[in-house]
Amino acid sequence: MNDDSKRGTPKDTHYARLRRTHRDAKAGGPPAGRARPGVPASEGPADGLVRLYGLHTVRAALDNPRRRIRRMMATRNALERLEIADAATLPFAFQLVEPRDIDRLTGSDAVHQGVVIEAEPLRPKALSALGDTPLVVVLDQVTDPHNVGAVLRSAVAFGAGALITTSRHSPTEGGVLAKSASGALEHIDLIEVRNLADALATLHKAGFRTIGLDSEGPADLERSFAGGRIALVLGAEGKGLRQKTRESVSALARLDMPGAIRSLNVSNAAAIALYAAHRHLAAPEAAARGA
């Protein structure tokens, strides 16, 4: 066996380098041939700030008048992609850096794309602040920030007005959640409640039909919709909805899945349910019932 059979032909090596170059450029990382060393994330910022990173996340934060940014670090390439012509005009501290400088803050596993900000977290609202939105998402102790971020992204995409979570057993705002949300964190009201059963009762009084997603639910999701306001209630993967939550919702419903797999990741289930709920609420008869 010759050496080429072990390490690939020169052509294969060339294409592998091109793939690495493309991948690293997207991530704001080093050029091909220089691997990013493994760097753990540093301790979080002081003064109760949160660290947010990634082009979409930072762009949305910059455009959100409610977001109070204290500091920004970015590479020259990231500034160009964010369309910031003159960093000196930014109303907060700015530092031009190399990708490895951001690695020391976020850890080298974070796909920061060459930009990170430190900002005040968005203050969650009370349920009493819920406006006239016809669609909300309620999470029953979903703790994985990747999943919550992905749910946020789908919620904004399909026009949900709020994400309701419990004060305990829910992830706090941070880089992983915000990056998974890809900017959606800045476009939706975050509402925290102490008692989910009481919150569902309040939603009922406000005219919401609360539908808990359950793989063993007695009816298809589409057949469970009614009225002009819908609250989709989803539980954590594995344990699903808690018993008290199951007893408190207007209906339990399942996604109709004809395949061998009978359940989905919570963020995937949320996306499908949001699409179906949006279609229901967009129908003229649903709008008339909600009037």
Q: Is the pLDDT of residue 106 over 90?
A: no
Per-residue pLDDT tens over the stretch 207-221: 999 999 998 889 999
- Tell which CATH architecture fits domain 50-119: 2-Layer Sandwich (3.30)
Q: Is the pLDDT of residue 132 over 80?
A: yes
Mean pLDDT for all residues in the chain: 85
Domain with CATH 3.30.1330.30 in the chain: 50-119
| Cα separation, 148 vs 126, whole angstroms | 19
Domain with CATH 3.40.1280.10 in the chain: 127-290
CA separation (Å) from 253 to 12, 226, 273, 275?
51, 13, 10, 15
| Cα separation, 153 vs 266, whole angstroms | 13
Helix axes 266-282, 145-157, angle to 10 degrees: 20
Q: Looking at 26-35, 43-52, 277-286, which range is the least confident one?
A: 26-35
Per-residue pLDDT tens over the stretch 250-272: 999 999 888 888 778 999 999 99
Write down the CATH number for the domain with range 127-290. 3.40.1280.10
Please name the residue that has the structure tokens 């989803």.
Answer: 234
> pTM of the full predicted structure?
0.80
Q: Do 53 and 106 meet the contact criterion of CB atoms below 8 Å apart?
A: yes
